[in-house]
Amino acid sequence: MSNGAPPIIEVKNLTVVRGGVQVLDIPSLQLHENEVLALIGPNGAGKSTLLLAMASLIPLTSGEIRCRGEVITSDRSVLAYRRRLAMVFQEPLLFDTTVYENVAAGLKIRGMARGDVRKRVMSTLELFNMAHMADRYARKISGGEAQRTSLARAFALEPEMIFLDEPFSALDPPTRLALTEDLERILNETGTAAIMATHDQLEALRLADSVAVVNRGSIAQSGSPVEVMNRPADEFVASFVGMENIFSGKVTATGEGLLTVTVMGHPVQLHGSARAGEEAVFCVRPENITIISDQGGATSARNVFPAVINKIVSMGAYYKLHLDCGIPLVASLTLQSLSEMNLQKGQRVNASFKATSVHLIRAGSQ
């Protein structure tokens, strides 16, 4: 997303220590114009602390924040910086007044003229399809409407960048979907750069141009969503992004960019570079595993394993098959595929995946 343009926000060597414990250590992180950056990671990873630190809402122990190249240092520059951004928290945190007054709050804080406030608030409420709710009392509206009001309050400021701290995590799925769609539309329409903390990978995949995986106060990996999802940098990232098949074994053969790694006596072929005898850790996404009837069925995949279905778990929109093929494998399957193949627990099948579907996380001498 950088396109050579200077970043709106640049964080360098940022650390935050609380109670003698270092809770954040971010050597470098940038947010560019029109970019949506998702901070993903488990609860307690430090996503919210990182957002607050980047918004200059908590003191840094060391490091610096630059906004369009300018270092944020004094109280005055912090206030000016905060007035260029907006933030939405997990809870709507609405004021004890009407929807209109809530959306107007930040504008009034900035001393905007009453007539301009009215125009801006009404146009923002229309953007969020909430104009009819302007006079409703904020404490009497639903959770989804309250969070929509909170978003409207943030966008009414026409910020250069918006910080979103798991804004939809407390909402029911349909409301969450509707708000995600609205946010996506408004981010596209306004071109506002955004940093969003979330533990929902689907939300990150849908909205983000880039993803940073946060673990224990550090960034474990950053890159495009596709890259992070398919080429995780380590076992933690692999596990967090849903790589349920993570294995370690010994490289037993190499040649033409193809490795053979033997796991529990079973050879797995994959692309990568390593030397024979080295330990290798690799992973395969469940979606990349194909199930073939044991009656036959052709496949060009290099890795084909006879397997027994140990368990079939419904995940709502799809199913997960836990397979025993000498090594434990998890495959995901649509309901249609499951029905067509009439798969049952205990049934014998073949599990296959391509060498290109396997991601080598690391290899080396142990």
Partner 1 sequence: MELILEGIYKAIALLVTLDAEVLNITLLSLKVSGTATLISLVLGLSTGTLLALAEFPGKRLLVSIVNTGMGLPPVVVGLFVTIFLWRNGPFGFLDIMYTPTAMVIAQAIIATPIVTGITLASIQNLPANLQLQILALGATRLQMVLILIKEARLPLLAGVMAGFGGVISEVGASIMVGGNIKGYSRVLTTATVMETGRGNFDVAIALSVILLLLCFLINYVLTRIQQRERPR
Among 137, 326, 339, 348, contact with partner 1 (rule: CB under 8 A): 137
Q: How far is the CB of 149 from partner 1 (least distance, A)?
A: 12
Least distance from partner 1 to the Cβ atom of residue 158, Å? 12
Stretch in the footprint of partner 1 (CB under 8 A) among 90-98, 280-288, 297-305, 349-357:
90-98
By the rule CB under 8 A, 335 interacts with partner 1? no
Would you say 79 or 253 has its CB closer to partner 1? 79
User: What is the SS3 assignment for the chain?
Assistant: CCCCCCCCEEEEEEEEEECCEEEEEEEEEEECCCCEEEEECCCCCCHHHHHHHHCCCCCCCEEEEEECCEECCCHHHHHHHHCCEEEECCCCCCCCCEHHHHHHHHHHHCCCCHHHHHHHHHHHHHHCCCHHHCCCEHHHCCHHHHHHHHHHHHHCCCCCEEEEECCCCCCCHHHHHHHHHHHHHHHHHHCCEEEEEECCHHHHHHHCCEEEEEECCEEEEEECHHHHHHCCCCHHHHHHCCCCEEEEEEEEEEECCEEEEEECCEEEEEECCCCCCCEEEEEECHHHCEEEECCCCCCCCCEEEEEEEEEEEECCCEEEEEEECCCEEEEEEEHHHHHHCCCCCCCEEEEEECHHHEEEEEEECC
Told to check if 71 binds partner 1 by CB under 8 A, we report no
Instruction: Find the binder of partner 1 among 3, 21, 96, 256 (CB under 8 A).
Output: 96
Which of 40, 67, 85, 228 touches partner 1 by CB under 8 A?
85
Cβ proximity to partner 1, 152 vs 323, nearer residue: 152
Instruction: Choose one: 11-19, 135-143, 266-274, 324-332; the region binding partner 1 (CB under 8 A).
Output: 135-143
Site membership for partner 1, residue 114 (CB under 8 A): no
Which of residues 114, 119, 139, 311 is near partner 1 by CB under 8 A? 139
Told to check if 182 binds partner 1 by CB under 8 A, we report no
From the list 47, 120, 148, 153, which residue makes contact with partner 1 (rule: CB under 8 A)? 153
Q: 220 phi and psi, to 5 degrees? A: -75, -35
* Residue 236 sits in the site that holds partner 1 (CB under 8 A): no
Q: Does 18 bind partner 1 (CB under 8 A)?
A: no
- Residue 93 binds to partner 1 (criterion: CB under 8 A): yes
Q: By C-beta, is 170 or 312 nearer to partner 1? A: 170
**Among 2, 18, 70, 109, which residue interacts with partner 1 (rule: CB under 8 A)?**
109
Contacting residues toward partner 1, per CB under 8 A: 52, 55, 57, 79, 82-83, 85-87, 89, 91, 93, 95-96, 105-106, 109-110, 137, 139-140, 153, 157, 163
